[in-house]
A = this chain, B = another copy of it.
Amino acid sequence: MIFKGGNSVVSPRARLGRNVRIGDRSVIHDNVVLEDDVTIANDCVIGEPQSDYYEGEHYNNPETSIGSGSLIRSHAIVYAGVSLGSGFSCGHRVTIREGVSTGKSCRVGTLCDLQGNLTMGDYVWLHSNVHLGQGSLIEDFVFIYPYVVLTNDPLPPSDQLRGVTVRRYTQIGTMSVVMPGVEIGSNSLVGAGAVVTKNVEDFSCVVGNPAKRVKDVREMKMPDGTPAYPWPHRFDRGMPWAGIGYDAWIQSQTR
């Protein structure tokens, strides 16, 4: 393993757990907390100072925390004031602004742009180049595919932002846009290229511009004829029910 930390800069005011690895040229700013077994690859900036930094002399960097076992791939920029849960991992060149809070085991793909002041639950997976506006609320086990934008300004420009809510287990297809304040119910499927202008009910498949409900996802089948949705019964890679099955896992959670 090559984590020599050549030309890296770690603030004396950062706190590092056991077995933390830091790559070349990465910068760890004031008040960053890296828990045990965190890996920061090359050329990352963790705890990037917020805008005030460029103006005031008495800037104090807010706390940034990265949970145990997380892997931050190269060229990430994580602002001060971010909290990433344990087992977080990301691709290259992600930008995560202040006020982002994630649960455990989230994945954020290459080039994602998290605009700040938003909340992600557990096991939220963002593929490459997803843009989440401020005020977004994303529940557990939601997967969002490339080039999706969650918006927040109904009448631009304004400062009256209304974030998007996405309920658990929902899948949002590539190149979709979700309009400000929209709530997408649980276990839904938003088709690629959809423009979602209205709330979406649970278990709905919506497609088109503007998006329309075309079916109940529970009618959709895999090539072998088995039900495709809800998907947790047929997909477990990286999920907490891997190896034991979704039903057994749910029972273990509700006990």
| Contact surface of A with B, Cβ cutoff 8 Å | 1, 7, 9, 24-25, 27, 39, 42-43, 45, 48, 53-54, 57, 59, 71, 74-75, 77, 91-93, 95, 110-111, 113, 115, 125, 128-129, 131, 143, 145-147, 149, 151, 153, 155-160, 171, 173-175, 177, 179, 189, 192-193, 195, 207-210, 220, 222-223, 228-229, 231, 234-235, 237
Chain B nearest CB, measured from A85 CB (Å):
19
Cα distance, A158 to B222, chains bound together (Å)? 10
Complex A-B, nearest 5 residue pairs according to Cβ-Cβ distance, in ascending order: A193-B195, A155-B228, A177-B192, A175-B177, A177-B193
How many copies of the chain does the oligomer comprise?
3
Chain B nearest CB, measured from A28 CB (Å):
13
- Report yes or no: B131 in contact with A115, Cβ–Cβ below 8 A: no
A192 contacts across to B, CB distance below 8 A: 149, 151, 177, 179, 195
- Report yes or no: B173 in contact with A156, Cβ–Cβ below 8 A: yes
Chain B nearest CB, measured from A228 CB (Å):
5
- Report yes or no: B171 in contact with A157, Cβ–Cβ below 8 A: yes
- Report yes or no: A115 in contact with B93, Cβ–Cβ below 8 A: no
A113 contacts across to B, CB distance below 8 A: 110-111, 128-129, 146
What residue of chain B has the Cβ atom nearest to residue A151's Cβ?
B174
- Report yes or no: A175 in contact with B157, Cβ–Cβ below 8 A: no
- Report yes or no: A155 in contact with B220, Cβ–Cβ below 8 A: yes
A207 contacts across to B, CB distance below 8 A: 210
A95: which of B1, B9, B110 is its contact (CB, 8 Å)?
B110
Chain B nearest CB, measured from A208 CB (Å):
6
Chain B nearest CB, measured from A80 CB (Å):
13
Chain B nearest CB, measured from A152 CB (Å):
10
* CB within 8 Å for A42 and B45 given contacts A53-B1, A174-B149: yes
Cα distance, A196 to B92, chains bound together (Å)? 29
